[in-house]
Structure 1
């Protein structure tokens, strides 16, 4: 007998949504948590909710930094399925489909085929969240869609359909409303064409972004409902995130402590103010430098060595298995980031265990033990302890 998938939680599916589809429609389609249009850092923060899938529909641009490709790759690395469609999601999916983002809808397909290339195709002016992200202007993709449908219906000739698109394309996206588009195309259309258009359009114009948004959410919801798990991606085959991206993720992250979400930036600020901040930072730097040097030498830890490094870490912390998932959430670590940390620990161990072979005439274990003990005062303490007068000990 097949085991039925466990009932999904709303946080299993995170949907970034704005003007493309009303929130209530998304909630009617599937159990999900609806978040506002994605800004830079929002996907990183969403990973703290431990979703199984993310549906990226809407995202900001121009006035605020847009969602990064690195964030979506981080979600894939953590085993979170990522679906994109409708608006910003269609753009990012077309750019990252080869890396595992699932693109959904006509707009995504047009971007992927190269028929659409500019992000202005999906841009529009809209209200803020307090007013439901209501759209004030029409995106160019919807004008193109209406022109195609009108041509197929015999309402417009090919030339008249292209004139409609050209008129819309000439308008700045914040000014592109249907009345302004139709006013701009008046000279290219004879009165009879406008009359046919008005009669045909009175039945309502199909909103392509809305349809694609629905399809994107439904595809992501079907994945969650299936009980399937997205494969955890190996990071081989592409460059590791730069130090700048890693720092941005660090300060943009969230730590789940029970029901509370604590910004990583606040935790970092508290650590900066702690008395042992320098000791912690220097220990981390040494590990990172040793691991980096190991990589430049072509060394890579085996899976067994990484597993051993993780087991040693858990044993050092004294965290039992049943509490580890919550501990990682409080750390702000997902499975992929945990593996990266444990790989560094394993590489550090490799460098230390084989120090004599890492450099010409490299340092021995005993030499290093003695040097550090002298620097920390441990050598003298041991010498004095051993120097306590004993029968038969030679004196100076």
Structure 2
């Protein structure tokens, strides 16, 4: 039976199917303005809310006041990976719990914009249609550490990605727009295809695992 006391907003950083293999909970699509207030108006039994994915540009983002109202009702609110990491960084002084690498990056000022985690998505299937800047950053960091690219080349790649409108961001688009030689472009693309990591997905799993740990299951 689905645990009706735990509500988690995701579907983009991690699929509902995979999330359910980690934790029995009620899963909702990426959160938007008004969703948490609506959830709590219809359900008095919610004990934990997990915020992973949220809407940034398609409609108004989830309001800080909604999360604060949940916290005032002694509901545990956990965030990470995407919108959850951003809101947790802003609201951890008030009791929201932040989990994962991206949350820590926001907290330390390594990243500071919702654009850093934004992606284009298919609203019907929640399929991710672009790469978030944060994923590009961690993968290009690894390529530099493995001496596939230089620091200067990484800086150029990250600037190209940052200057690209978020729905158009991809590894291939960014790499092919750079000044890398054709040979080095092929080498880097092959490296990414073989070693690519998805930091948002990793953090989404951490959020769900943390909620499982603190829940009564």
Question: When the two structures are superposed, what TM-score results if normalisation uses the length of structure 1?
Answer: 0.52
Matched, 1:93 2:78: no
- The equivalences for 1:95-174 within 5 A come to 95-128=90-123, 130-131=124-125, 133-174=126-167
Tell me which residue corresponds to 1:200.
191
Contact 1:12/1:53 (<8 A) preserved: yes
Which whole-Å CA distance do the structure 2 matches of 1:175 and 1:191 have between them? 22
Q: Partner of 1:203: helix, strand, or coil?
A: helix
Aligned residue among 18, 41, 56 for 1:61: 56
CA deviations on 1:182-204 (whole Å, 9 max, x unpaired) are 2211x2x2334323313322314
Unaligned residue ranges in structure 1 (runs of 5+): 1-7, 227-396
Match of 1:41 in 2: 34
2:176–2:185: 8 Å Cα contact kept in structure 1?
no
Q: In 2, are the aligned partners of 1:55 and 1:217 still within 8 Å (CA)?
A: yes
SS in 2 for 1:202: helix
Contact 2:56 2:114 in 1 (8 A): no
Matches within 5 A, 1:1-396: 10-47=3-40, 48-49=42-43, 50-128=45-123, 130-131=124-125, 133-185=126-178, 187=179, 189-225=180-216
Gaps of 5+ in 2: none
Could you state the TM-score of these two structures normalised by the residue count of structure 2?
Answer: 0.94
Q: Check 1:179–1:102 CA distance in 2 against 1; reply closer, same or farther (3 A cut).
A: same
Measured after TM superposition, the shift of residue 18 of structure 1 is: 2.8
Q: Which residue in the other structure is 1:374 paired with?
A: none
Structure 1 or 2: larger helix share?
1
Distance of 1:182 and 1:84 partners within structure 2: 31
Check 1:143–1:79 CA distance in 2 against 1; reply closer, same or farther (3 A cut): same
Q: CA deviation at 1:167?
A: 1.3
C-alpha distance in 2 between matches for 1:29 and 1:142: 23
4+ long deviations beyond 4 Å: none
Q: What per-residue deviation string (whole Å, max 9, x for no partner) do you get for residues 16-66 of structure 1?
A: 013211110111110110001111111112223322111100111223111
